[in-house]
Amino acid sequence: MKKTLFVLGLAVLTLGCKQESKVDYAILEGNISNFKGKELAINDLSGAFRGKITLKEDGSFIDTLKSASGTYMLSDGKNKMQFYLEEGDRLKVNYDAANSATLTFDGSAAATATYYEAKKKKSQDLEVGAQNIYTLDEEAFLATLNEVKKAHQDLLTASTSLSASFKNLEEANINFEYLNQVNNYELYHGYYTNNREFKASEKIHALLKEVNMGDPEAYRFSTAYKSLLTGTYNQKAAELVEKDSLPQPLALLKAISENPNDGIKNNLLFENAKVYLSYSEEPKTYFEFYMANATDEEQKAEIRKDYEKLMTLSEGNPSPEFTDYENYAGGTTSLENLKGKYVYIDVWATWCGPCKREIPFLKTLEADYHNRNIEFVSISIDSREDHDKWQKMVADLELGGVQLFADNDWESQFIQDYMIKGIPRFILLDPQGNIVNSNAPRPSSDEIRNVFETLEM
């Protein structure tokens, strides 16, 4: 009998000491009153879109974030809230959309969200705008940066409800914010003062020499650290372009491949390949370099799929189609309707500055070739909410050619099929609807006229 009781006792002890499974998610919830929209967008530290959260009729919402550890931005299109989550955290967000001052946070992650709001207000109170600060001479520039840095450090010290681990990460982040702006000084000062030959002193460069480029914890937590790395690698890529005459996308991959941390290196290589592979002038060389230097097999498999898809967009292949896009002139237009002529397609949006800078050149190009066998087509990928803005801009700028409105902005199948990650993007098709160039020269370049002159139109 005693033996039986002893065994049962062990069983009870085992059950009592059984380790609970670790929670691998965080919960984000809240309520927004007087909000005219129906969805919120959530982005992670890199700015990458994590998903949409649908609000109920009463303005409440709740969502579960898997593998949640990290910094996030929640946006309703006008108001933005930053917060930091660990697995097991819960954050409640409540406010009146008509009055951002009503914003409150509750839950285990409330302290970091409150801190970020206070930090944002502190930055606004200091009124340090990019154009103003980068026009300053070096001494005044560094003095201003140090003032901002100290203000943020004082705020962090005074925020006693924050955990020690978060404070350590944020203290490093404040320094990376400082160094990131220091790193930008030479380029931005030259731009804002219209002195492209400007060179910063050794004092500026000395501040950047001790940065650890392979810190995975900083990379996970700090947007500024990632920006600092990205800016540094862009500078190194520019040097490789000048020194070795490498194409810029390939030069950037080569610079990134020198990062000492495999996780950071793989992430930066992958992010750049997802965007720049389809823009590379030498996609085969670019792809082969990526495959030789990346070590994450899942990411490599995805880039291989992108490369294989890109090869279907080579010269001479049939173009992907679009069907029944709204035509500003009335009715709808499909790509099939445009066969019989060369087609020069401009993918743009009303909010895109570089797109708008190409418009005068596009209008001149169209006027110069209006008697030739070519159709100039502009496809707006504005969101449905900006439809009226699109119509107004077409009218106000007296845009010519065929003005179309894509059916689902960035998610339109035609945009996806062409792997378009940035705009403006120009595409040239022949009269049979085959691809001449899936990444054609811009109207502002002399090269596009040279291309046109080689065609029988």
Q: List the chain domain ranges.
A: 25-107, 130-311, 325-453
Distance (Å, whole) CA 1 – CA 158 = 63
- Compute φ and ψ for 311, nearest 5 degrees: -65, -25
Name residue, tokens 């060369």: 342
Assess contact for 346 and 426: CB atoms under 8 A: yes
Global pTM? Answer: 0.80
Assess contact for 185 and 202: CB atoms under 8 A: no
Distance (Å, whole) CA 68 – CA 332 = 44
Instruction: Spell out the CATH class of 325-453.
Output: alpha beta
Assess contact for 284 and 292: CB atoms under 8 A: no
Instruction: Spell out the CATH class of 25-107.
Output: mainly beta
pLDDT tens, residue order, the chain (457 aa): 444 433 334 343 343 444 445 678 899 999 999 988 888 998 887 666 778 899 999 999 999 988 767 888 899 888 888 999 888 999 999 999 888 889 999 999 999 999 999 999 888 888 765 567 899 999 999 999 999 999 999 999 999 999 999 999 999 999 999 999 999 999 999 999 999 899 999 999 899 888 999 999 999 889 899 999 999 999 999 999 999 989 999 999 999 999 999 999 999 999 999 989 988 888 999 999 999 999 999 999 999 999 999 999 999 999 999 999 999 999 999 999 999 999 999 999 999 999 999 999 999 999 999 999 999 999 999 999 999 999 999 999 999 999 999 999 999 999 999 999 899 999 999 999 999 999 999 999 999 999 999 998 8
Assess contact for 293 and 257: CB atoms under 8 A: yes
